[in-house]
Structure 1
Amino acid sequence: MSGPTSGPPVTDQPAPIDLMNTLRADRHAIRDELTSPAALRDWLVRMTGEAFAAPRPAELVAARRLRDSLRLVAAVSTGDPRGDSTWPTDEVENALSVVNETASWRARTNLVLRAGRVLGDVVFHTSPVSAALGDVAHEAVEFFAGPAAQTLRPCCAPRCVLYFVKTHPRREWCSQTCGNRVRAARHYQRIRPQV
């Protein structure tokens, strides 16, 4: 992969995992797919199917902060062998605080009386973009606090920085591309003349 792409490399993942995977690696560097407010809007549209006004720059910062916090929570939860296996407690607690705080941005429905009828009225305490990020954070809280957290895996293919939910017992990598890369490297090691 030479640069950002329009779609996810790992499909059918929960929104928090998809957000974590907006950091990708190619042959040269780590690539951030959330490079602009427009990129954040496109990601939100892809995840929710809803239209959004252009996010404010502060919302882009909040989305990246949430993503980075989720990646740290995932690394701790999975014992991710790709990086440092010890994380300072204060960093982990800060990441958890970011996730919990962002989850509080969700829109909520209040019951109201209108024309003699009880109706639900959606109340935004933040912008629709921030509320959508709140939904993602809330989904992350439910994911990491529940049994689904046991299915989260780091992709351990060379140069891969992605996470995936293991949906099949034999699944080892985030995508066929990573699996092919690992198999090709193994094959090359077997047939390469020993020097």
Structure 2
Amino acid sequence: MKTTWAWLGDHLAVDFANTIKVVDNSTIELIGSVEEFHDWHEAEPADLPTVVLTSESLRDLRNLRDCALRLLHAACDDRTLPQADVATINEAIEIGGTLRLLGSAAGTSRLQSASEGGFDALAGLLAAAVVDLLAREDLANIAVCSAPSCGQFFHRARPNQMWCSPGCGNRARVDRHRHRRMDATGMARR
């Protein structure tokens, strides 16, 4: 089954972190092959350098993504950021020569790699996006969807938003209703 990447278009760090999905309490890798990465890269709206990945560089990219996941989870849970992951992200930015440049309008900016392209430039831009997101004042608006079989990061539109989409909200409500019915039925049998 081919992934459609329908949720892309959030902050680049969120899109990068969401290359995993949780289904039945198991993590599903959405960039498990070079081809799946290229599908994601093609669908991602952010301007990313073109790169031809090998199996080894894909492994390195997923390692960088896993660092981003741990950092985002720590930030969402208001925990101290794992220092090994901070070091990995910072190293990728330094190797990629990533810079933040002023955008064409006030209040805007863009990330650019000083490298000519390739894996280091891509990793540097993705790592810098993680730093950008974690340094934002509105970081409290980032949450993890609590719907069954999701676990994706999203930007809250309102403070009490628990799900990334209406579909996840419906799935969570149906699941909650099903559990209530099972509890009520189980209690009635006793």
2:58 pairs with one of 57, 60, 64 = 60
Structure 2's unaligned 5+ residue stretches are 101-112
Q: Taking structure 1 as reference, are residues 41 and 107 closer, same or farther at Cα in structure 2, changes over 3 Å only?
A: farther
Asked if the contact 2:64–2:89 (Cα under 8 Å) also holds between the matched residues in 1, the reply is yes
In 2, Cα distance between the equivalents of 1:189 and 1:39? 35
Q: Which residue of structure 1 aligns with residue 28 of structure 2?
A: 31
Structure 2 length as normaliser, TM-score? 0.75
Q: Which residue of structure 2 aligns with residue 124 of structure 1?
A: 115
In 2, Cα distance between the equivalents of 1:147 and 1:166? 14
| Letter of the structure 2 residue corresponding to residue 124 of structure 1 | S
Q: How far has the Cα of 1:69 moved from its partner?
A: 0.5
In 1, Cα distance between the equivalents of 2:158 and 2:25? 31
Q: Which residue of structure 1 aligns with residue 104 of structure 2?
A: none
In 2, Cα distance between the equivalents of 1:11 and 1:176? 16
Q: Taking structure 1 as reference, are residues 70 and 171 closer, same or farther at Cα in structure 2, changes over 3 Å only?
A: same
Structure 1's unaligned 5+ residue stretches are 81-85, 110-121
In 2, Cα distance between the equivalents of 1:123 and 1:72? 27
SS across alignment from 1:141: helix
In 1, Cα distance between the equivalents of 2:51 and 2:127? 20
RMSD: 2.9
Structure 1 length as normaliser, TM-score? 0.73
Q: Which residue of structure 1 aligns with residue 105 of structure 2?
A: none
Q: Taking structure 1 as reference, are residues 123 and 172 closer, same or farther at Cα in structure 2, changes over 3 Å only?
A: closer
Instruction: Tell whether 2:150 aligns with 1:160.
Output: yes
Asked if the contact 1:4–1:33 (Cα under 8 Å) also holds between the matched residues in 2, the reply is no
Q: Taking structure 1 as reference, are residues 185 and 138 closer, same or farther at Cα in structure 2, changes over 3 Å only?
A: same
In 2, Cα distance between the equivalents of 1:27 and 1:69? 23
In 1, Cα distance between the equivalents of 2:178 and 2:89? 43
SS across alignment from 1:41: helix
Q: Taking structure 1 as reference, are residues 38 and 147 closer, same or farther at Cα in structure 2, changes over 3 Å only?
A: same
Q: How far has the Cα of 1:54 moved from its partner?
A: 2.2
Q: How far has the Cα of 1:59 moved from its partner?
A: 2.1
SS across alignment from 1:31: strand
SS across alignment from 2:154: strand
Q: How far has the Cα of 1:107 moved from its partner?
A: 5.3
In 1, Cα distance between the equivalents of 2:48 and 2:83? 32
Q: How far has the Cα of 1:106 moved from its partner?
A: 3.9
2:87 pairs with one of 93, 97, 103 = 97
**Deviations, residues 128-169 of structure 1 (Å, cap 9, x unaligned):** 233122112112111101213221111122343211111234
Identity of aligned residues (%): 22
| Letter of the structure 1 residue corresponding to residue 10 of structure 2 | Q
Q: Which residue of structure 1 aligns with residue 4 of structure 2?
A: 6
Asked if the contact 1:106–1:132 (Cα under 8 Å) also holds between the matched residues in 2, the reply is no
Q: How far has the Cα of 1:187 moved from its partner?
A: 2.6
Q: How far has the Cα of 1:65 moved from its partner?
A: 0.9
| Letter of the structure 1 residue corresponding to residue 3 of structure 2 | T
